[in-house]
Amino acid sequence: MARAYGQDLRARVLDAVAGGMSARRAAVHYGVGAATAIVWVRRARQDGETAARRQGQPKGSKLDQHAGFLLGLIAAKADTTLREMQGRLRADRGMGAGVGTLWRFFAARAITFKKNRPRRRTGPAGRRRGAPSLVRAPT
């Protein structure tokens, strides 16, 4: 991810614009994008904001406020599918969330569901049993 421009560069651009230079001309002079300089000047004029804003998305999930509800669904029925949870979340809470969002929510809490019934897989390769005998043993 790209880093924000330094505060000293912002201050120089804003000082140049305050001194009568246009924002576009100051952008060319200091080697920043014209749109960047225009946004800096607009923020400084409207809000007095001259510092860089935080980059990236805020930490957490939009499902954090519904954690109790979702964990309650798991407690009630352990093998609930993500699709079922998605439907219940929409019906009961009026909130839409994708299956991937639900998966990341549970993965962050180390909640997984594994089938625990015996799997019917083949044995090791190369050591297969022969075909069943056609002749039966005498009874």
Q: What is the pLDDT of residues 105-125, one digit of tens each?
A: 988 888 877 665 565 555 556
Question: For residue 45, what are its two tokens?
Answer: 């004029």
At 1 the pLDDT is 47
At 125 the pLDDT is 60
Tens-digit pLDDT profile for residues 40-71: 999 999 999 999 888 887 788 889 999 999 99
Closest C-alpha among 43, 33, 32 to residue 8: 32
Cα(25)–Cα(29) distance, integer angstroms: 6
pLDDT at 2 over 80: no
pLDDT at 34 over 60: yes
Helix 7-18 vs helix 34-47: angle between axes, to the nearest 10 degrees? 80
How much is the CA Rg of the chain, to the nearest whole Å?
Answer: 31
Question: For residue 99, what are its two tokens?
Answer: 């299956």
> Any idea of the CA torsion for 18, 22, 25, 27, to the nearest 10 degrees?
60
* Model pTM above 0.75: no
